[in-house]
Amino acid sequence: MAHGSANTAGRPKGDVKNLKPLMPYLRPYRLHIIAASIALIFTSSSVLGMGKGLQYLVDQGLGKHDTALLNEAFWMLMGVTVLLAVATYTRFYLVSYVGERFVADIRKDVYQHLLTMHISYFEVTSTGELLSRLSTDAQVLQTVIGSSLSVAARNILLFVGGFALLLFTSARLTGYVFLMVPVVIIPIIMIGRRVRHLGREAQKRIAEANAHAEETLNAMRTIQSLALEPYENERYSQRITAAMNASLGRISTRATLTALVIFLVFGAINIVLWIGGQDVLSGSISSGQLSAFVFYSVVVSGAVGAISEVWTDVQAAAGAAERLSELLALKAEIISPQTASEKTITQQASIRFDHVYFNYPMRPEKPAIADFTLDVESGKTVAMVGPSGAGKTTIFQLLLRFYDPKSGAVLLNGVDVRDYALPQLRSLIGIVPQDPVIFSGTARDNIRLGNIHASDDDIIAAARAASALDFLQAMPSGLDTYLGEKGVQLSGGQRQRIAIARAVIRNPKILLLDEATSALDSENEHAIQQALDRLVAGRTTFVIAHRLSTIMKADQIVLLNEGKIEAIGTHSELLGKSALYARLAELQFKTSS
Ligand SMILES: Nc1ncnc2c1ncn2[C@@H]1O[C@H](COP(=O)(O)OP(=O)(O)OP(=O)(O)O)[C@@H](O)[C@H]1O
Ligand SMILES: [Mg+2]
């Protein structure tokens, strides 16, 4: 995660045709785009018209000392200026509006799509990478759609129109201008490249510093407990200094570039004025024509500069578009079947694992589960025990269909879980994980996640059933107390009781419990035990057991070892027939007093 965001800077630029797959996102806004284009054509042509107006003003008004004509020209120019302002407002607003909507639509679609991706996708993709696509890449696209493209269109019009008018005004002077173009453009392009390179360097350094800050701020307890403050401080300042130096390098090159641009452009204009001035003196052109000529040279050179600047944005956007359409094109591997089983599950929830073989996609060589066959009748409780890494949690993940078996099948009421619609299957299952996730928000919000349609009364009832009501009500704002990011304001036992309440409110047919290994104080322990006993009653339950009391209550105990069932039976049976079980019982099972 920490390194994901560092990849944002200096990402490869894309081929412009990569923008194409995202173009359908513009379709709903085509009327806006048409209106903006009309405004854009109007503004560009009025800018071009101004040069002619200037020529007219200089020759007819100033040259002939005619005040009335000067006034007339003044009012005409004022009129055009007002229209220009209105059209610019329209174009700017519409284009930015389209940019915002376009990117918001893409962000929503990408997020929605990611929500449907199979779990193993998230094992191979870093969160930082996905976040940077949603934030940075989307942002780059927004800049281009919401501004750069219209800037480019306007400047292309200005360039073409301005160039035609240059030729029309004085073909000879245009020839001189074009002799000067390479002298001005080539150094600007070369230094511009260096500026961009240094800019990417600086961004990369900043991203590294940010990634470092993010990782450490998220692990403050670890850092302070290891007394790493001076060490981390040093590492962060080094990165910030590196970022600052990279930035300063860019700034000094950029300053040189600006100075050079000013020198070259104004120098070139000066030369044009000098040559053109001689033409005026010799009478081959009028002073108005010279004025218009200088005006158009400024317009055309400005347009060239703007287009070259925008081109980089467009390339960056093409890269961003490629990465975003890649995400949108991902195919989820775990999906609901075309025709899901119609069978609605009312009372029964019997489960059968039928010769299940499974290995995690990332570990193709090592089976996590091998030849696993187990029948659990509706309403019964199975305790799973076994050494760490035996495959206990994997069984839960297969039931939830986070993964599909490589061969064999998991059956629910005799129907393969792959034949149920995913939401239906998962709505039947409640989980209390070992280390529950608490989302930022209130206790009420967190419990409601188990069933987002639950009423406030349901939430209170669930909290009570989970033995959580007392401690929740004792908090400053009761159930509406904000629990802090990741539930940092709660104890481990309290987090677990919220998770139990979340499972209670779901009223699931199947219950998956991963018992906490960490020791809880006896009061907590007792409260949780009671809550779990209430929860388990009447449901088909799989429990990864670490406590003797849980094991004793189970209908059958499954001893897992290296993905295989080593033995099944009751506690005393297993003690008799499995040395591994006897050893585990001695070392692992905490007797709850
Ligand atoms: N997402 C994953 N990708 C690859 N391998 C995994 C993944 N999750 C678990 N494994 C591997 O699969 C095996 C079984 O893991 P599992 O989590 O089911 O063990 P467990 O019995 O729950 O252990 P513990 O008691 O420590 O929680 C282990 O070897 C583990 O390293
Ligand atoms: Mg586990």
For 47-89, how does the pLDDT look when each residue is reduced to its tens digit (9 = 90+)?
998 888 888 888 877 777 778 877 887 888 888 889 999 999 9
In sequence order, the β-bridge partners of residue 558 are 384, 568
DSSP state of 467: T
What is the Å distance from ligand 1's center to 383 Cα?
Answer: 17
What is the Å distance from ligand 1's center to 389 Cα?
Answer: 5
Closest CA to 285 of 275, 298, 297: 275
Answer for the pair 380, 555: CB distance below 8 angstroms, yes or no. yes
Tokens at residue 194, please? 């260096």
The structure tokens 């961009």 sit at 196
Q: Which residues contact 135 (CB under 8 A, 6 or more apart)?
A: none
Answer for the pair 383, 551: CB distance below 8 angstroms, yes or no. yes
Of ligand 1's atoms, which has the minimum distance to the CA of residue 119? 1
What is the Å distance from ligand 1's center to 393 Cα?
Answer: 7
pLDDT above 60: residue 266: yes
CATH code given to domain 437-507: 3.40.50.300
To 10 degrees, the CA torsion angle through 188, 194, 197, 201? -130
- What tens digit of pLDDT does each residue of 415-427 get? 999 999 999 999 9
Q: For CATH 1.20.1560.10, list the domain ranges present in the chain.
A: 12-329
DSSP state of 82: H
CATH code given to domain 348-428+510-522+531-593: 3.40.50.300
The confidence band for 269, taking pLDDT boundaries of 50, 70 and 90, is confident
pLDDT above 90: residue 369: yes
The confidence band for 344, taking pLDDT boundaries of 50, 70 and 90, is low
Answer for the pair 175, 306: CB distance below 8 angstroms, yes or no. no
Ligand 1 pocket (Cβ < 6 Å) reads 123, 360, 362-363, 368, 386, 388-394
What is the Å distance from ligand 1's center to 337 Cα?
Answer: 27
Closest ligand to Cα 360: 1
Burial 109-130 (b: 16+ CB within 10 A, else e): ebeeebeebbeebeeebeebbb
Residues in the chain, total: 593
User: What distance, in Å, lies between the first and last C-alpha atoms of the chain?
Assistant: 42
Closest CA to 215 of 134, 123, 127, 120: 127
Closest ligand to Cα 561: 1
Q: What's residue 68's pLDDT? A: 83
Of ligand 1's atoms, which has the minimum distance to the CA of residue 390? 21
Question: Can you say how many angstroms the Cα of residue 441 is from the centroid of all Cα atoms in its chain?
Answer: 21
* DSSP-based three-state secondary structure for 400: coil
Q: Which residues contact 513 (CB under 8 A, 6 or more apart)?
A: 431, 432, 532, 536, 541, 542, 543, 544
Mutate to test the pocket of ligand 1, among 359, 384, 388, 393 (most ligand atoms within 8 A of CB): 393
Which 3-state string (H, E, C) describes 7-65? HCCCCCCCCHHHHHHHHHHHHHHHHHHHHHHHHHHHHHHHHHHHHHHHHHHHHHHHCCC
Closest ligand to Cα 564: 1
Distance in angstroms (rounded) separating the CA atoms of residues 573 and 452? 43
What is the Å distance from ligand 2's center to 392 Cα?
Answer: 6
Residue of minimum CA distance from atom 27 in ligand 1: 388
What is the Å distance from ligand 2's center to 217 Cα?
Answer: 27
What is the Å distance from ligand 1's center to 544 Cα?
Answer: 13
Q: How many CB atoms lie within 10 A of CB 143?
A: 18
Q: For CATH 3.40.50.300, list the domain ranges present in the chain.
A: 348-428+510-522+531-593, 437-507
| Percent residues over pLDDT 90 in the chain | 46
Residue of minimum CA distance from atom 14 in ligand 1: 391
The confidence band for 7, taking pLDDT boundaries of 50, 70 and 90, is very low
Distance in angstroms (rounded) separating the CA atoms of residues 446 and 416? 32
pLDDT averaged over the chain?
87
Q: What's residue 520's pLDDT? A: 62
Closest ligand to Cα 362: 1
Distance in angstroms (rounded) separating the CA atoms of residues 180 and 479? 74
Closest ligand to Cα 517: 1
Alpha helix positions (H), 283-359: 287-329
Q: What's residue 6's pLDDT? A: 36
Residue of minimum CA distance from atom 26 in ligand 1: 388
Of ligand 1's atoms, which has the minimum distance to the CA of residue 434? 27
Distance in angstroms (rounded) separating the CA atoms of residues 89 and 190? 34
CATH code given to domain 12-329: 1.20.1560.10
Distance in angstroms (rounded) separating the CA atoms of residues 355 and 371? 5
What is the Å distance from ligand 2's center to 67 Cα?
Answer: 92
